[in-house]
A and B are shown apart, each in its own frame.
Chain A
Amino acid sequence: MNVLKTLAIAAAGLVLSFGAAQAEGQKTAKDISYSFEWPFGHFDREQLQRGYKVYKEVCSNCHAMHQMSFRNLSQPGGPEFSDEQVKALAAGYQVQDGPNETGDMFERPGLPSDRFPSPFPNEQASRAANGGAYPPDLSLITKSRPGWYGTINQLINGIGGPQYVYSVLTGYTPDDQLTEELKKEQPEGKYHNPYFANGHWIGMPPPLSDGAVTFDDGTPSTVDQMARDVSAFLAWTAEPKMEQRKRTGFMVMIFLGILASLLYLVKKKVWADVH
């Protein structure tokens, strides 16, 4: 009986360490660490501000981020730009509004309440401009793309979404290092990236090169640094309430923990005379 029970637990444990499907041939993301991991982790404001700059100057040329508004950039728990900075930054965009009283659409400078404008009006236009490939919306990218798999692995380390973004950005095989075999199968206008979730030929040319962005805080803008910062920024856009969630979680756990201890003592006392 006990043997069987142990077996049941062992079987469950063993089986739990394996997990769900992984796309064929996709390389497991590089396991870099971020400040916002684990229950106590929180975002690094400066990193998010740098990441925003990378997004704005590089990614946003092709990728939309339509779940985010400019005002989010000054909210607590994010990059926490000042309200003035956000106003100025929104005003740097032209946004379509209308119709006005004569029935025409018009352009006006952006307001903090506006969503980030998308670079293309629709998917077709986006594909037409990008050699048939469709740059996905980045709002939720770190929550929708796992960097690694495994039931236990994901439970402990998360799905590795930010690491996936980092690995794709830094994981290109330079064209001159491709093997002859790979060169033969290389589709027109595609680049080799073993971390890419959809079959290691990616339509996006390597987007980052050293010095592509000048950081305001003087951090050297190496490809590695920019990839870390922008993937952290995209972790925030996917889960902007993460810090609030963890903070609330601690209060809830402490409250429930005290309540449970008190109830246990009451239970002990009430049951003392039963037998």
Chain B
Amino acid sequence: MSGHASNYQPKSAFAKWFHERLPIMDMVQGQVLDFPTPKNLNYFWTFGGILAVMLLIQIVTGVVLAMHYTPHVDMAFDSVEHIMRDVNSGWMLRYMHANGASMFFIAVYIHMFRGMYYGSYKAPREVLWMIGVLIYLIMMATAFMGYVLPWGQMSFWGAKVITNLFSAIPFFGDSITTLLWGGYSVDNPTLNRFFSLHYLLPFVLAGLVILHIWALHVVGNNNPTGVSVKSAQDTIPFSPYYTVKDAFAIVVFLMFYAAWVFFSPNYLGHAINYQEANPLVTPAHIVPEWYYLPFYAILRAIPDKLGGVIAMFGSILILFALPWLDTSKVRSGNYRPIFKQFFWLFVINCIILGFAGSGAPDNYFLSHEAANPDKWALTYKLVGQICTAYYFLHFLVILPLLGLLETPKPLPASISDAVLARSNPSTAHVPAE
């Protein structure tokens, strides 16, 4: 891994014997306990640890749920209710798993926005960032297939809408959809393969997370100043400093999570999913889970089906190019006054996109009323279109130009300087670079 040499000294004869055969304790010492970490990381940096815990919780609860669940169109819905009613603490497992998905996405969105604000994707962390985007993509696929498994109305119709998207692909579209369905409509084979993949993908995620952490340990943490580590002065060992800080943040996050699980376990889902799937009855409104809504809005913004699919996937794939779209050499948004404002605009835009994805396209925005088709009106669809345009504008025009036009604020000489300046303002203003 990185150029940091471990100080591991085996203490017992057995430890020495083992170390000569598998130096894993050396790695633990060097990469986990002593790993030099910038001393100024704020609480936004705890979400990596939170995400690792969430993945673990999802895998553990999911494995147990799979012991009681039956992936068959005639039994899936009732087997979920069996878990809720007859399995010991089954209600808790299921609510933990269902709300865990939402918590996972909340944490991942904070983690990603943190990376965007502090420029954590910039050299030398491009590969680290790109592995992260891949993790996010696979997370989305996993969560989508998981939502199909209870075989409620929204499970079924959500699966139908999303898998249908692939039919827009020229030449291969129909073959891909048939392959996804395992037939000519969403049916038992679809449920079976989604169950299989939903069980598989989390382990793929775990592998990618190892790569993500590996890449992190090669280049080291970014930090709120964005200034690279210059001397041992700038860092502290990961343990005990960040183990205890992460542990505190994780427990606080678990409290937030538990509040949903125990006191409002169904709020983040759809009521209609407590109705068993019925291929003959289409629900009045088919909406995905909240964490997909911005992308759903982008999909609906383009009048052409293929165009919508391209825009939707493009909106995620564009993140792979982010390290090269942002032309500024300064990493942290703290030293980029104009970027900072555009960053928050982008956040607001994403939130509004989410709302644009939640309503019927032809209703007035944020209302249940159908808009008059003959008059100009601010509909869900129109808001979605404006925000979609801005989403791509941010990446394709604003970020590349800002790097060239903006004058950043002077950067601190080092992380230590920045920390000292904050705790003792009289020594501030030591510009460098």
Chain A residues engaging chain B, CB cutoff 8 angstroms: 1, 4-5, 7-8, 11-12, 15, 18-24, 39, 67, 72, 136, 139-140, 143-146, 149, 154-155, 158-159, 161, 238, 240-241, 244-246, 248-250, 252-253, 256-257, 259-260, 263-264, 266-267, 270-271, 274-275
**Contact indicator A267/B261 (Cβ below 8 Å):** no
Please name the residue on chain A nearest to B369 by beta carbon. Answer: A24
User: 18 A-B Cβ contacts within 8 A?
Assistant: A4-B344, A15-B352, A21-B284, A23-B284, A143-B266, A155-B264, A159-B271, A241-B85, A246-B262, A248-B262, A249-B261, A252-B262, A253-B262, A259-B251, A260-B251, A263-B244, A271-B244, A275-B423
Query: Which residues of chain B come closer than 8 Å to A260, judged between CB atoms?
Result: 248, 251-252, 255
Query: Which residues of chain B come closer than 8 Å to A15, judged between CB atoms?
Result: 351-352, 355, 366
Cα A22 to Cα B360 in complex, Å, equals 10
Query: Which residues of chain A come closer than 8 Å to B252, judged between CB atoms?
Result: 260
Q: A8, A139, A241: which contacts B348 (Cβ < 8 A)?
A: A8
How many A-B residue contacts, CB cutoff 8 Å?
A: 127
Query: Which residues of chain A come closer than 8 Å to B261, judged between CB atoms?
Result: 249
**Contact indicator A144/B352 (Cβ below 8 Å):** no
Contact with A along B28-42 (1 / 0, CB 8 A): 000000000001000
Cα A248 to Cα B91 in complex, Å, equals 11
Q: A24, A72, A259: which contacts B85 (Cβ < 8 A)?
A: A72
Contact with A along B50-94 (1 / 0, CB 8 A): 000000000000000000000000000010010011000001100
**Contact indicator B255/A20 (Cβ below 8 Å):** no
Interface residues of B in 372-425 (CB under 8 A from A): 419-420, 423
Please name the residue on chain B nearest to A266 by beta carbon. Answer: B244
Cβ distance A241 to chain B, nearest Cβ, rounded Å: 4
Q: Does B247 contact A (CB under 8 A)?
A: yes
Question: If A21-B285, A256-B255 touch, does A4 touch B345 (CB 8 Å cutoff)?
Answer: yes
Total B residues in contact with A, Cβ cutoff 8 Å: 55
Query: Which residues of chain A come closer than 8 Å to B274, judged between CB atoms?
Result: 140, 143-144, 238
Query: Which residues of chain A come closer than 8 Å to B240, judged between CB atoms?
Result: 270
Query: Which residues of chain B come closer than 8 Å to A253, judged between CB atoms?
Result: 255, 258-259, 262
**Contact indicator A256/B258 (Cβ below 8 Å):** yes
Query: Which residues of chain A come closer than 8 Å to B344, judged between CB atoms?
Result: 1, 4-5, 7-8
**Contact indicator B85/A11 (Cβ below 8 Å):** no
Cβ distance A231 to chain B, nearest Cβ, rounded Å: 15
Cα A161 to Cα B270 in complex, Å, equals 13
Cα A267 to Cα B355 in complex, Å, equals 39
**Contact indicator A7/B341 (Cβ below 8 Å):** no
**Contact indicator B341/A4 (Cβ below 8 Å):** yes
Q: Does B287 contact A (CB under 8 A)?
A: yes
Please name the residue on chain B nearest to A141 by beta carbon. Answer: B274
Cβ distance B92 to chain A, nearest Cβ, rounded Å: 7
Please name the residue on chain A nearest to B356 by beta carbon. Answer: A15
